[in-house]
Amino acid sequence: MYPSDFEYAAPTTVQEALELLRQNPEAKVLAGGHSLLPAMRIRLMSPPLLVDIGKLSELKGVRADGGVAIGALTTYHDLEASSELAQRLPVLVECASNVGDPQVRNRGTIGGSIAHADPAADMPAVVLALGAEMKVVGPNGERTISADDFFVDMLQTALEPGELLTEITVPPMPEQMGAAYEKFKHPASGYAIVGVAVMVHRGADGNVSDCRIAVTGAGPRAQRARAAEDALKSGMDVAEAAARASDGLEYIGDISASEEYRANLVRVLTKRALTRAMEQLR
């Protein structure tokens, strides 16, 4: 199936891309195209102009700067292959290697996944659990949006018209950190029916000092499971905390899974992810 007709531009600088977006408010940004092109093929989206940012090589790659900065145009394959990430944030490698299939990972990008904000995409949960920040440029210059504020609703983010996501930055992590991503895959699409990403820190006193749990697939957007976070931080064990993971979340049921089933998956996957993350604490 063909997308409906559109104009195509492949700028070679970020400034050029921003100018095209400013002049064409209805334009869509094309990165790896593995969410956008399928949506256009079934005519769910029919933008008049595609701004292909594939030539903006400055948006590619992983860089360590205290924390880790990941260019928005970095593909899942590049995340999987990054020795920097394998050392500092293996949870991102683990998550990337379970997205789609090899061909999807060769083209699909972390920034594309986050900016598209599919309710069942993996990356939004992981960046939310890691407390990442999204660096964005637009007509009014650069700004930073925290992952907590970024995912607004189904396919909706805090990106304003004309803005371009350029980089995802993960803050420096303490030594005593564990993180894991658990996913129950839809067998045909590979998307998460539910996915749970967790991050735990342990303080000098041996107790959990910080914990972030993020859920994808259950509802319209990636969401924090705050009841379980609070439980773990208050000293409850993993099983007790995980039992609260489904509390207070928004759910969507569909032909693949009911709301109740998804809530159950949230609890089960949270327990598995927390167990693995706690094992990583030294």
Partner 1 sequence: MEISVTVNGKTYRHNVPPRLLLVHYLREQLNLTGAHVGCDTSQCGACVVDVNAQSVKSCTMLAVQADGAQVTTIEGLATNGAYHPMQESFWEMHGLQCGFCTPGMIMSATALLQRNSNPTDAEIRHALEGNLCRCTGYENIVKAVRHAAQQGRAGSNGSMHQGAKPEVPESAEELEHPRRDDGVPEKPETVGDWEGENAGVDETTPMGQGGM
* Using rule CB under 8 A, residue 6 touches partner 1: yes
Helix (H, G, I), strand (E, B) or coil at 153: strand
Q: Which two tokens stand for residue 210?
A: 């910080």
β-strand pairing of 7-9 with 49-52: parallel
Q: Output the smallest distance, CB 2 to partner 1, in A.
A: 4
- Binding of partner 1 at residue 255 (CB under 8 A)? no
Q: Say if CB 121 and CB 158 are below 8 A apart.
A: no
Minimum gap (Å) between residue 122 Cβ and partner 1: 15
> Nearest to residue 115, comparing CAs of 66, 188, 166, 77?
166
| Residue 38 contacts partner 1 per CB under 8 A | yes
Per-residue binding letters, 102-121, with partner 1 (x by CB under 8 A)? xxx-xx--------------
Write the burial class of residue 281 (CB in 10 Å: 0-12 exposed, 13-18 middle, 19+ buried): middle
- Rule CB under 8 A: say whether 52 interacts with partner 1: yes
220: contact with partner 1 by CB under 8 A: no
Binding mask 176-195 for partner 1 (x = CB under 8 A): ------------xxx-----
Q: What are phi and psi of 29, to 5 degrees?
A: -90, 130
Interface with partner 1 includes 37 (CB under 8 A)?
yes
- Can you name the residues that pair with 170 across neighbouring β-strands? 68
Task: Tell me the sheet residues that pair with 213.
Answer: 198
The residue among 79 and 232 lying less far from partner 1, judged by its C-beta, is 79
Chain positions contacting partner 1, by CB under 8 A: 1-8, 10, 30, 33-34, 37-38, 41-43, 50, 52, 54, 77, 100-104, 106-107, 188-190
